[in-house]
Structure 1
Amino acid sequence: MRKFLRTLRRSPAESATVGDLLAGARPGSVQSVGRMQVLPLLAGDAPTADLGDPSALGISTGDYGTLFFRNESPGPVLVPSHLAVIVSQAAQDHAMPRAALVAAGAERSYTAAMCIQQSQGGLIRHGRHRLAVLPPALREAASDLPAEPGYNRLWPAVSQFKNSARVTGAANLVQFLKRFATELDQFVAEFECVDDQIGAVVLMDDRVIGVERAPSHTYWQALWEPLIRFCYGAEAVRRDAAGVPVDLGGRVPLGTSRGGDGADTLSLLAATVRDANAREQAHAETAAEEIGRASILVGVDEAEHDIAVGTVVSDTLVGAYALDGETPVYASLTARGTL
């Protein structure tokens, strides 16, 4: 393993590449809908780890800006980077600025959480709640803020995100989610979580916008809907609402087929589809290889026994990662400059 994997616990930051965090994963078949592509990352020879199921955590708020987590499982649970807790209660929804770890059978308070629903008061009652992940622009804003108390510090970014989608009003992310609920539901239905999947490289308008790698297939299944609906789906819907032109870039149009009888036409069409799929797969894999070479800085925020959790920063990407011993088992990175 690279030197940074051995020295992270002693050093405030080490240089690495995105590919270091994805070691062993192999690409699956690309899925394309509109302006977005998802290249699944399959476990293959990649190391995995049991870091629990974040959807099984008991979550509540004790005051504005503090999230409480209760882990009743026999092992540690990783709280994913930029987790958002969306509840149907009359309560202020909250989000995390980083990833975090909750030890086995433990309770933990995180006092640097952020309110994302300015116009809604009330505290979240303890229980299992629907999880989300912040859209990329809000993830960037959250990562750039210091991880210290300040419940309202993300409100300017929430307002900017909403306004760009022509949703006016307070810094209330839920208003955006309700306004585009139908579009987001449709978006989720068009992508599929596949067997052995532990992550994905996400492209939007021909640019890599996200790199995700979960510690296990079970963990990925818990993250799939929060990521596709609330994070990347929300960004695609925002761009549509803002009138951002669709850039297919390396996507391959089918064109037209001309032939004699119907059988020949169908054969030509099938061949055209196969060729287009192959070229689109190659384009997505090339984009994934390029982002894999991107340089990043990584540093440890916290450690529990053999598990270390830290942040990732660079000029182009922000997010978090986790190590099991000296081995990367989790990464959640989004591109800067999406808004």
Structure 2
Amino acid sequence: MRNPLKRFQSTMAESATVGELLSGARPGRVQSVGRMQVLPLLAGDAPTADLGDPASLDISTGDYGTLCFGNSGSGTALVPSHLAVMVSQAAQDHAMPRAALVRAGTKRDYRNAMCIQQSQGGLITSGSHRLAVLPPALREAASLLPEKPGYDRLWPAVSRFKASAGVPGSADLVRFMKHFATELDCFTAEFECVEDQIGAVVLMDGAVVGVERAPSHVYWRSMWEPLIRFCYGAEAVRRGVAGDVPAAPSTRVPLTRPAAPAVAASGGDGADVVALLAEAVRDADTREQQAVETVAQATADESVVVGVDEAIDRVAVGTVVGDGLMGAYALDGDTPVYASLTARGTLAA
């Protein structure tokens, strides 16, 4: 298969498909909770790379709009796309507008970060902090903003996001997370990070809302909770509170009530009913898996435009823009090993 990613070490934009960014990953068994479904992406023979562990990054803020990352590892570290840092200390929480790289054994100041807690002052002290990822609507807004300093430039989008869920007050994303903490706790606990998983296709109301592919198992395990709770979980909770009506046909398959057995088997007809119910569950699971994989394949076939933002040695990171998805990707040499894409138009302006 032709690899359009081959020339990505230049700064020119290239055309690719979402599937090519996920090359080698295979689907696992779909998990469904409420209006959200997660299709795990399993590594199998997919290429992987050691781009550090996001949880091991030393993170602080130098001033408002500057996130500082320390990489004590022996290789280049990848800062996840739209990473958000929300701390318990009295400090202004921040988020990244895209992905970034940090050289081994160095510290990098990223001066185009964004404040996400308008009403709180103070700087984040250096250390390991709980990680989060912006909800899809804020990820889109962050990607569309000019790549320039301006710590308050995401506040209008944060205000719209909160207001759509009926949470009053300033542009403070932490207030939304605290307001729905119980719902997010329960929601997150119902999904499972499975063996050999390096990513996921996330559907909501029958449509793909996100595509994630990590460079390694270690990387994915660190990003699982930040993505499921703070990104996609927050969006699922927001939609439920806002009463959003699904725009796409549902990929959830209802369980069909089994017919009563015509003749009672030995041991009583109860055993027959249980067997029929088990068969109905297997049938529903199979049909739901097929429905989700069909939608995911259509997304994999979508064309996107990709280009390199920066490179360190053989590792490159850049942006992805398509009609339906946008986000970031990373290459190890000319091989895609990371993708974090979110659906466009999840929240009307």
TM bucket, shorter chain: over 0.9
Partners of 1:35 and 1:248 within 8 A in 2: no
Which residue in 2 is equivalent to 1:282?
A: 290
Separation (CA, whole Å) in 1 of partners of 2:154 and 2:131: 18
1:317 match? 325
CA shift at 1:287, angstroms? 1.1
Q: CA deviation at 1:166?
A: 0.3
Shift of 1:49: 0.3
Q: TM-score scaled to structure 2, two decimals?
A: 0.95
> Is it true that 1:249 corresponds to 2:250 in the alignment?
yes
- Which residue does 1:54 correspond to in 2? 54
Supply the AA of the counterpart residue of 1:337. G
Equivalents in 2 of 1:81, 1:320: separation in Å?
6
Percent identical among aligned pairs is 71
Q: Do the aligned partners of residues 200 and 72 (structure 1) sit closer, same or farther apart at CA in structure 2, a change above 3 Å counting?
A: same
Paired position in structure 2 for 1:308: 316
Moved more, 115-124 or 282-291: 282-291
Shift of 1:6: 1.9
Number of residues paired by the alignment? Answer: 339
Separation in structure 2 between the aligned mates of residue 257 and residue 5 of structure 1, nearest angstrom = 50
User: What does 1:10-29 correspond to in 2, within 5 Å?
Assistant: 10-29=10-29
Asked if 1:272 is matched to 2:273, the reply is no
* Equivalent residues of 1:92, 1:124 under 8 A apart: yes
Report the Cα distance in structure 2 between the residues aligned to 1:72 and 1:112, rounded to whole angstroms. Answer: 22
Larger mean CA deviation between 279-288 and 190-199 belongs to 279-288
For structure 1, which segment, 276-285 or 255-264, has the greater mean C-alpha deviation from structure 2 after superposition?
255-264
Pairwise mapping of residues 225-240 of structure 1 onto structure 2 (< 5 A)? 225-240=225-240
CA distance in 2: counterparts of 1:259 and 1:266, whole angstroms: 10
**Hey, what does 1:128 align to over in structure 2?**
128
Q: Distance in 1 between matches of 2:14 and 2:3?
A: 9
Q: 1:94 to 1:104 in 2, by over 3 A?
A: same
Q: How does 1:165-176 map to 2 (within 5 A)?
A: 165-176=165-176
1:213-271 per-position Cα deviation (integer Å, ceiling 9, x unaligned): 00011100000000000000000000011112467613211121231411111111000
Q: Secondary structure at the residue paired with 2:220? A: helix
Alignment of 1:331 onto 2:339: yes
Amino acid across the alignment from 1:318: M
Matched residues in 2 for 1:43 and 1:60: separation? 32
| 1:260-316 deviation digits (Å, cap 9, x = unpaired) | 411111111000000000011111111111100001000000000000000001121
Aligned partner of 2:32 in structure 1 is 32
Structure 2 unaligned runs (5+)? Answer: 262-268
Cα offset for 1:3?
4.8
Equivalent residue letter for 1:223: M
Q: Supply the distance in 1 between the matched residues of 2:46 and 2:304 (Cα, whole angstroms).
A: 20
Provide the residue aligned with 2:260 in structure 1.
259
Contact 2:11/2:309 (<8 A) preserved = no
Distance 1:222 1:10 in 2: 30
Distance across 2 between alignment mates of 1:96 and 1:12: 23
- Helix, strand or coil at the partner of 2:159: helix
* CA pair 119-181 structure 1, distance change in 2 beyond 3 A: same
1:116 maps to amino acid: I
For residue 120 of structure 1, give the secondary structure of its aligned residue in structure 2: coil
The separation in 2 between residues aligned to 1:232 and 1:26, in whole angstroms, is 21
Answer with 284-293 or 240-249: which moved more: 240-249
Offset, 1:9: 2.1
* Map of 1:181 onto structure 2: 181
- Distance in 1, matches of 2:176 and 2:31, equals 26
Residues 186-225 of structure 1, C-alpha deviation per residue, up to 9 Å, x if partnerless?
1110000000000000000000000000001110000000
CA RMSD, 1 decimal? 1.1
State the shift of 1:77 in Å.
1.0
* 1:222 paired to 2:228: no
Please state whether the residue corresponding to 2:127 is helix, strand or coil. coil
Amino acid at match of 1:313: V
C-alpha separation in 1, matches of 2:81 and 2:2: 24
Q: Would the alpha carbon gap of residues 3 and 47 (structure 1) be closer, same or farther in structure 2, given more than 3 Å must change?
A: closer
State whether structure 2 residue 149 is matched by structure 1 residue 149: yes
Letter in 2 for 1:119: S
Gaps of 5+ in 1: none
Moved over 6 A (4+): none
Task: Give the counterpart letter for 1:250 in structure 2.
Answer: T
Amino acid of the structure 2 residue aligned with 1:290:
A
Partners of 1:255 and 1:289 in 2: how far apart? 26
One-letter amino acid matched to 1:334: T
Structure 1 residue 11: Cα displacement: 3.9
Provide the secondary structure at the position in 1 that maps to 2:330: strand
- The whole-number CA distance in structure 2 between the counterparts of 1:153 and 1:107 is 25
Amino acid corresponding to residue 270 of structure 2 in structure 1: G
